[in-house]
Structure 1
């Protein structure tokens, strides 16, 4: 199926014109890099070094690119990578902060199919994305590099576990459906499960779905690898990063009202082909601000869904051989889905859920999760939630019941991420009707890492007019979010 931005917008909607004081025009457009070579001053973020583009011109300068991407999370950076590798287009990535400062840097890195449902709207995109991640890991290995060191990539396999007869039946049914969909999957009884994970106890009634091909990666290492690859195109005049530079407004044509670019706090970036909003949890509020004063009746209900992950450093009480998740996580992912208040019930009571997830990261730290709650854009650590994560993990790992979390006061960290939640559970991928150059790539909630490569491929194919590998219909803005 061939698809392009202009085709979708033209067939479904008419263009909208804007006039008056909302028009912002910048006539002066400098060469992207001038005549001097680009320099990338370095600063530290977490365990990786990131950089921002250094322009040879003063602040408030104008630049022109083929594609401008708003958001430097895993979605935005893989989008840039895809455009750079699959076309000769120039790309700019803009972010109010730096990479890994949102949901990307706070995840466990699961590239899993275990908790996906065959035939669902997400299924084909998840299958395609997992295949692309495997291809990337293989290409790195073929170049003589180590995928574990480069991406934190490990084909650990996944264990989706349950402890009751009801959960075991649910897992057996899931194994049947996954096998019918072509995946290599087995059901493992609680008695046999101890051979795979000696530290895990699900009781006599419990069991697990085991998927051998599921993998995990480390977000910080993966982002560092992708950024390094993207920056190889900077010397060719095709790539630039504008970090610590929040988007303020859209730039529109004075004659047609068509979106021509974006204005940030420091620069004006014109786009010849596409502007992609990939700002994660901030995508909804950003578009609301950008559309103020216009007559576009678009409501993008992306809300931040806060999550805690507990990282216990240098953990040596036991070792995990696989990534693990309780089957209840799948239910909690869909449950408690209203970010709005219920009279008489506190916010904390009405929307907090805790589910066990557990894995070991590339350096041997124990990573436990996870929580879900709606609490706005707060990223403050809630000690009571951290304690509940520890207690919940102890219900599956008896050794943890004998250990106090306080024993790790100096060797523990808490990751806070704001997952970009959408009420119908589907990410938003595709053009904005009436705004031909503007596209969304957001709303993946906890699946941004796993779905990133498939999303990047889909958006790039839309812009280039290529045949899509996955049906985009479930993810389009059309018929979902208009007021």
Structure 2
């Protein structure tokens, strides 16, 4: 079998925070140190005792030495209204929303760089095809879709090309059924979507073949077509959001702290509220809020705070197979098998037991998805499994994705995957999974100034703008455009 290469995004240029941040001196306080290195695979014991820090000694100057185990941490001090932990698409778009809709200052901190996690490894869906009208997720998904549409239109109105800027493609999506039962399910879904105001159409087997000649279609086949569904290129989109955020640097309202793992949230000895985020290089004081948007690491990070709230976010590994410069088949839409929808429902229903699994215990499933990205590459997926934080490529899973794709595309049966050679890549991402299938978005019980925004699993890019709007409204005390209640932290976490 040909060797596989795991997708690794190129290092992204970033600005050094200390070169453009001038922060006011925060008031002296007594802080409690808890937690461990954010994102570390190996637990690091950070001394259980409370540690008093030296008082602030001026913006950008050494704050003092905090002893963590046997290693001293030298931190520099900065102050912001809001500190966001996590520079994935959720964290960056929350920063964007706060910068555009308020006069608050914002810092984003991450152990790596944007697009080095689940966002950069995904297919870039902005799809409503697999969302169910009336569900808890529906309004958030619909709002996010509208916001992405508006953003693309605004970019176009400025004389720019949304495809060049965002990788934006309004390809439409197809949910494909191969059996009588699946076709009947898709007819009901089209009716449901249409009644909810989303343009949708059922395609017979003949109509489906006209739309997608590369598909294997027989008389029982059918599909749900959503012509307004879109795709993005995650890397271009993140670069656009970053560039927009950096426009606020000159106003002293924005800073990035990349390659800077979070060690702890620091709590006041007076009222227990979080007053700062301690990283490996800095102490970032927060005057208004901390937002934890740390993806699949959110659960382990919050558990280490020892505040009696166990956030059930855990990593769910996914593989995608990317065939570069592949012209054997051409797709006119983004495709997903009908079983992808029922797969999601079944996995969510069984997630009560899944939540109690150890990270080494697998629940593997594979569904056919197929898209052509902005570069013309064929992207095939996808797998789901619980294997902890492992990001190693699994050859048997890649073979299974290929075989599943062959069932839908006859042309693929004419070749062996090994023949593709160096033009074959594998993307691996760890989706932030919540057992009930909904992201957790809201304030943490007992810590009114700490907000969570995680658990979007494979829909982070799709739901990003709606989530960002929701979190910004929460931080600023505004009434939301979407009901906050279904995503609340309280009642969905263990105490």
TM range (shorter): 0.7 to 0.9
| Cα offset, 1:265, TM superposition | 1.0
Asked whether the equivalents of residues 315 and 366 of structure 1 are also in contact (C-alpha less than 8 Å), the reply is yes
Corresponding position: 1:424 with 2:436: yes
| Cα offset, 1:333, TM superposition | 2.3
| 1:440 match: secondary structure | strand
Paired with 2:444 and 2:138, the residues of 1 have a C-alpha distance of 23
From 246, 256, 259, the equivalent of 1:231 is 246
Change in 2 beyond 3 A, CA 1:374/1:334? farther
Corresponding position: 1:131 with 2:131: no
Paired with 2:390 and 2:470, the residues of 1 have a C-alpha distance of 32
Asked whether the equivalents of residues 308 and 414 of structure 1 are also in contact (C-alpha less than 8 Å), the reply is yes
* 1:198-213 pair list within 5 angstroms: 198-213=213-228
Alignment match, 1:4: none
Change in 2 beyond 3 A, CA 1:107/1:125? same
Asked whether the equivalents of residues 23 and 251 of structure 1 are also in contact (C-alpha less than 8 Å), the reply is no
Corresponding position: 1:388 with 2:400: yes
* 1:21-100 pair list within 5 angstroms: 21-22=49-50, 25=53, 27-28=55-56, 30-31=58-59, 60-100=75-115
| Cα offset, 1:390, TM superposition | 0.7
Alignment match, 1:309: 320
Corresponding position: 1:405 with 2:417: yes
Asked whether the equivalents of residues 24 and 250 of structure 1 are also in contact (C-alpha less than 8 Å), the reply is no
From 307, 310, 314, the equivalent of 1:299 is 310
Paired with 1:476 and 1:141, the residues of 2 have a C-alpha distance of 36
User: Gaps (5+ residues) in structure 1?
Assistant: 1-16, 34-57
Asked whether the equivalents of residues 166 and 237 of structure 2 are also in contact (C-alpha less than 8 Å), the reply is yes
Alignment match, 1:376: 388
Alignment match, 1:441: 453
| Cα offset, 1:419, TM superposition | 0.4
| 2:49 match: secondary structure | helix
Change in 2 beyond 3 A, CA 1:24/1:369? farther
| 1:22 match: secondary structure | coil
| 1:213 match: secondary structure | coil
Alignment match, 1:121: 136
Paired with 1:191 and 1:30, the residues of 2 have a C-alpha distance of 71
* 1:319-398 pair list within 5 angstroms: 319-336=330-347, 337=351, 338-339=353-354, 347-348=361-362, 351-398=363-410
Paired with 2:493 and 2:366, the residues of 1 have a C-alpha distance of 30
| Cα offset, 1:18, TM superposition | 7.5
From 227, 242, 258, the equivalent of 2:257 is 242
Paired with 1:263 and 1:68, the residues of 2 have a C-alpha distance of 11
| 1:79 match: secondary structure | helix
| Cα offset, 1:449, TM superposition | 0.4
| Cα offset, 1:201, TM superposition | 1.6
Asked whether the equivalents of residues 355 and 435 of structure 2 are also in contact (C-alpha less than 8 Å), the reply is no
Asked whether the equivalents of residues 422 and 443 of structure 1 are also in contact (C-alpha less than 8 Å), the reply is yes
Alignment match, 1:37: none
Alignment match, 1:482: 494
Paired with 1:368 and 1:29, the residues of 2 have a C-alpha distance of 54
Paired with 2:142 and 2:355, the residues of 1 have a C-alpha distance of 33
Paired with 1:341 and 1:432, the residues of 2 have a C-alpha distance of 22
Asked whether the equivalents of residues 85 and 108 of structure 2 are also in contact (C-alpha less than 8 Å), the reply is yes
Alignment match, 2:28: none
| 1:80 match: secondary structure | helix
Paired with 1:26 and 1:445, the residues of 2 have a C-alpha distance of 40
| Cα offset, 1:250, TM superposition | 1.4
Asked whether the equivalents of residues 25 and 254 of structure 1 are also in contact (C-alpha less than 8 Å), the reply is no
Q: Deviations over 1:115-138 (max 9, x none)?
A: 000000000000000000000001
Paired with 1:478 and 1:340, the residues of 2 have a C-alpha distance of 17
| Cα offset, 1:329, TM superposition | 1.0
Change in 2 beyond 3 A, CA 1:26/1:452? farther
| 1:241 match: secondary structure | strand
Paired with 1:266 and 1:379, the residues of 2 have a C-alpha distance of 27
Alignment match, 1:52: none
| Cα offset, 1:30, TM superposition | 3.6
Pairwise CA RMSD of aligned residues? 2.0
User: Gaps (5+ residues) in structure 2?
Assistant: 1-30, 34-47, 62-72
